């Protein structure tokens, strides 16, 4: 029988958001789990540029062309940390038990959505000309053109709008991660939980954010366009609709010591029971403790940028583009559950790193 002394297993000490488990660790299995790695650098994605609409219509004696484009940069990190204390024993009959306590986890997504919005409205006037050679001919003469273009931190503006309206969104600016990534503001969306292994047998993190807002009035450079349209009864709107929801469920599935592997069988409170381990006489103490977990991720995300221009009740042009977020995995369908993925902690593999400057909401 081997005694497992009280041991702290954690992705880092203290827990931070630079080191942890990626939410989608590639190529893992029960026999090949992922150990903690640096997750704070993330994978900044490329820039995507989209035309929301580009439309020309005849309106009275005029021809109106509206063009709205947007470019987006997204991506930072995507992972979670985990820590807990274990103590227990292995037995000569191949069974083992572990009592888990002081468990906690933080998981989330850091992302930056820098958006360059360009809005152009051009009005041309129809000119009727007459000549004896060609008779009556129509042509178009530029009447006025107004445009505005600005790079904005989409999340920052959206949050300001939502907070003004009393809507609380659990996003916070991550100063340290921005410095690490090197460009643009990075916003973090997190969920943290603790003491769930004893009560539920698993740990669930549920980071989520939903934002929907018309942000143009909050961007000074668009003020002239908005007020100009207002004089003639026109309305212009643009803004994001964001959904990021990814519940992560973590379960303990295996105990590994220097003697061999034990598979999880039952749980009673905070005590996890294992079987299938080596049968025979064991040493009095266990020196190497590794706990393997599985996790699944239900993921639903969407970022859509919309814009519309309307005039009286005569015409309305609207459009939207959906922007993929680089989350380190090729997700083509919304609202899916991915996994299981396998990760592990052991008592001799902890990495101590400097705690990043994270402002919690």
Partner 1 sequence: MAAGASLTGCGGSGGGTSRAGGMTPLANAYRFLPLASAGASLPNSESIMAQASAEGDLPFMGGVMLNDRRHVCFHATNANGKHGVFEVDYEPDGQVDPIKHLISEGDVLPDGTLVDDVSGGYLNNDNDVVFVVSSESGETLQYSSAGAPFQRYFDEYDDVSPQCRLYGDLRPEVGLTDSDDLLFVCGYRDQEDRAMGEGLFYLPQGNASETTLLLGEDQLLPGSSCAIRTFGLCQIGSTGEYLIQGTAAPVETQANTDDDGNPLSFLARGRVGESPEVLVAHPALGINQAIQGSVDMGPRLGPDGYAFIVSTGPDRTQLYLNQTKLLDAGPGDIGSLTPRGARIISMFPPVFGPNGLMFIQVFTTEGTEILAYNGSGFSSILARGDSVQGKQVEMIVFGALPCCVNSFSELVTVVEYSSGESAILLGIPV
> Are 236 and 13 within 8 A, CB to CB?
no
d(CA 3, CA 156) in angstroms, rounded, equals 52
DSSP-H helix ranges across the chain = 154-164, 175-181, 197-200, 223-231
Q: Tell me if 59 contacts partner 1 by CB under 8 A.
A: yes
Q: Give least dist CB 231 to partner 1, A.
A: 5
Q: Give least dist CB 335 to partner 1, A.
A: 10
Element (H, E) at 288: none
Q: Within positions 150 to 189, which residues make up the interface with partner 1, using CB under 8 A?
A: 164-167
Q: How many residues bind partner 1 (CB under 8 A)?
A: 55
Other Cβ atoms less than 10 A from the Cβ of 323: the count is 21
Peptide bond into 80 cis (omega under 30): no
How is 308-356 classified by DSSP, letter by letter? EEEETTTEEEEEEEEE----SS---SSSEEEEEEEEEEETT--B--PPP
- Which residues are 141's β-sheet partners? 125
Q: Give least dist CB 203 to partner 1, A.
A: 21
Distances (CA, A) of 227 to 123, 147, 218, 223, 235: 16, 13, 13, 6, 9
d(CA 42, CA 38) in angstroms, rounded, equals 9
Element (H, E) at 221: none
Q: Tell me if 329 contacts partner 1 by CB under 8 A.
A: no
- Applying CB under 8 A, which of residues 232, 330, 333, 348 lies at the interface with partner 1? 232
Q: Tell me if 60 contacts partner 1 by CB under 8 A.
A: yes
Q: Tell me if 237 contacts partner 1 by CB under 8 A.
A: yes
Q: Tell me if 331 contacts partner 1 by CB under 8 A.
A: no
Q: Give least dist CB 201 to partner 1, A.
A: 24
- Applying CB under 8 A, which of residues 17, 242, 253, 289 lies at the interface with partner 1? 242
Q: Give least dist CB 238 to partner 1, A.
A: 9
Q: Tell me if 352 contacts partner 1 by CB under 8 A.
A: no
143: exposed, middle or buried (C-beta count within 10 Å: 0-12, 13-18, 19+)? middle
Q: Within positions 284 to 323, which residues make up the interface with partner 1, using CB under 8 A?
A: 300, 304, 306, 308, 310, 312-320, 322
- Applying CB under 8 A, which of residues 47, 49, 56, 265 lies at the interface with partner 1? 56
Q: Tell me if 220 contacts partner 1 by CB under 8 A.
A: no
- Applying CB under 8 A, which of residues 9, 70, 213, 323 lies at the interface with partner 1? 213
Phi, psi of 315 (to 5 degrees): -145, 160
Q: Tell me if 241 contacts partner 1 by CB under 8 A.
A: yes
Using the minimum distance from each CB to partner 1, give the nearer residue, 201 or 302: 302
Q: Tell me if 127 contacts partner 1 by CB under 8 A.
A: no
Residues 6+ apart with CB under 8 A from 226: 216, 217, 236
- Applying CB under 8 A, which of residues 10, 34, 63, 345 lies at the interface with partner 1? 63
Q: Give least dist CB 332 to partner 1, A.
A: 10
Coil/strand/helix, residue 195: coil
Q: Give least dist CB 298 to partner 1, A.
A: 12
d(CA 10, CA 27) in angstroms, rounded, equals 22
Q: Give least dist CB 138 to partner 1, A.
A: 4
Interface positions with partner 1 (CB under 8 A): 51-61, 63, 67, 126, 128, 136-138, 164-167, 208, 210-214, 228, 230-233, 235, 237, 239, 241-243, 245, 300, 304, 306, 308, 310, 312-320, 322
């Amino acid at each position: 029988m081997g005694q497992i002394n009280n041991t702290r297993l954690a992705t880092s000490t203290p827990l931070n958001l630079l080191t942890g488990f990626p939410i989608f660790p590639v190529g893992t299995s029960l026999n090949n789990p992922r150990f903690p790695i640096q997750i704070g650098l993330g994978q900044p994605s490329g820039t995507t540029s989209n035309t929301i609409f580009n439309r020309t219509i005849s309106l009275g004696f005029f021809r109106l062309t509206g063009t709205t484009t947007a470019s987006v940069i997204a991506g930072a990190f995507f992972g979670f940390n985990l820590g807990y204390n274990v103590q227990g024993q292995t037995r000569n009959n191949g069974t083992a038990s572990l009592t888990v306590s002081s468990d906690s986890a933080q998981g989330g997504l850091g992302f930056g959505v820098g958006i360059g919005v360009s809005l152009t409205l051009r009005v041309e006037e129809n000119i009727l000309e007459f000549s004896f050679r060609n008779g009556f001919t129509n042509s178009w003469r530029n009447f006025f053109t107004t445009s505005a273009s600005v790079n904005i931190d989409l999340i920052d503006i959206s949050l300001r709008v939502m907070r003004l309206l009393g809507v609380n969104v659990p996003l916070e600016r991550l100063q340290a991660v921005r410095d690490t990534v090197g460009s643009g503001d990075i916003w973090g969306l997190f969920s943290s939980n603790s003491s769930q292994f004893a009560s539920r047998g698993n740990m669930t993190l549920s980071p989520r954010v939903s934002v929907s807002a018309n942000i143009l009035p909050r961007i000074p450079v668009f003020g002239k366009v908005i007020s100009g349209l207002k004089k003639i009864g026109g309305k212009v709107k643009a803004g994001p609709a964001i959904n990021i929801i990814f519940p992560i469920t973590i379960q303990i599935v295996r105990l590994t010591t220097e003697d061999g592997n034990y598979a999880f069988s039952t749980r009673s409170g905070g005590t996890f029971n294992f079987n299938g381990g080596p049968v025979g006489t064991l040493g009095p103490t266990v020196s190497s403790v590794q706990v393997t977990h599985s996790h699944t991720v239900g993921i639903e995300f969407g970022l859509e940028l919309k814009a519309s221009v309307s005039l009286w009740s005569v015409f309305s042009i609207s459009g939207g583009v959906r922007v993929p977020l680089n989350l380190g995995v090729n997700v083509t369908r919304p609202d899916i559950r991915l996994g299981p993925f396998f990760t592990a902690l052991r008592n001799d593999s902890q990495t101590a790193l400097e705690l990043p400057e994270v402002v919690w909401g």
